[in-house]
Chain A
Amino acid sequence: MKMLLRHLALPALLGTLCFSTTTRAQEFSAKDLAGRLSAAVLDGDSVTKLRMKIEPSGGGDKTLVQVQIKARRLPGKTQVVYQLLWPKERMGESFLLSKTKGNSAEGHSFRLPKEVTSLKSAQLKDSVFGSDLAYLDVVENFFAWESQSLAGQETINRVNCLILESKPGSSDSTLYGVVRSWVDPKKLVTMRVEKFDPSGKLVRRIDTDRVAKSDLGKDIPASLVVTRPGSGTVTELEGSNIRHDVKYSDHDFTVPAMADLRIPR
């Protein structure tokens, strides 16, 4: 059927890692580019499904999980709930994060059977479900940071990208010193993101393997590979579905609702 034409799901997610908005190739100033990317990140209420494959260093057994992400991304405030759907024995494991402009992200994690732990700023560098992503990566919008500059051009996967360099200002609470993004200026999709700590050491690299259309008709990264130099581990994220026809209440981003897997309509 027709749906097969566009097969292979999509999915985006990772809040700030994924953005979109199709535009014509054109000249951008750094501020303009970052502004457009930031606006694309702030896509309101959404639910995303993705498959996460975590490959340990040394070739051990791979971990495979299915994740549901409920997100509300508004100017000045981002809230996300990440929930494990599969494997069955981990279904319901989740975490909730909230970040408001100028403040550090905070939230809670929930582990089976009933362990709720508070996530403080010091834990934001910890791993998401054992993957190469840190909690902060899924809630932080570095395109909204004060300092944005263009650092050149480079071809990634045959796409000529603009390199956007984002640096936090004094009011931006983050663990990173610099984030470099390789942006496809035609589709406004990041093809690569590199995050450096304040000492300038590369901490994390996120490569986009595949771009797909979202339910809003925008281009978004659909398949991502996350690596941490020196760790030897690799995390692959394969999006399968993203929907924006959902409506959350404030309650959906609270601790009692964290393990509720239903999708509100």
Chain B
Amino acid sequence: MSARLSFHEELEKLHQNLLKMGTMVEEAIHLSVKSLAERNEDLALQVIHHDDEIDGLYLDLEKECFRLIALQQPMAGDLRRIATVLKVVTDLERMADHAVSIAKATVRLKNEQYVKPLIDIPKMAGLAQSMVRDALKAYIDQDLPKCYQIGKEDHQVDALYKEIYNELIGIMQEKPETVNQGTQFLFVAHYLERIGDHATNLAEWVIYLVTGKLEELND
């Protein structure tokens, strides 16, 4: 039975690497928003450069999933675990790309005075980040109630996005010279909204992992 044991060890390794990637992505989101709020270009560049490492881990995890499917022909719970990793890494990779886009906004705005202090965007970022963190925790603990909670939090993120959107449009209409900056912030808010959606996808995959059922949390 040693071959099988090592298969399960490999599954455990897959699990650990996914958590490693998740932690890196969570950190990237955190730092990108911090760079924007603090107007810290160095921090932004750090996020941008760090993305290669996340992409590398993403490809490794994907390859590992395909290898295990081809060589081990996983069934039932093993199959669902690998399918979940395969889907989750895609969501994580997209989130990291959004973090990079936010960091790029920091770089573009480095010479601009912000029209108003950033309040709602960091608030939205905090919510999106905690959704990502909770989704990873829910994955580790296979915690279904937490998954449904994440679905609800996504509605809050969406509501904040709408508020920020309307506010920024108002500011830009009033002061056309803020259009460049306003557009950048609009993009940032949009990236955060997308990060919330990906975190919700993560929660959906955890539900699949545990129950075998595919559900839409954000209807």
A binds B: no
Q: Give chain B's interface residues, CB within 8 Å of chain A.
A: none
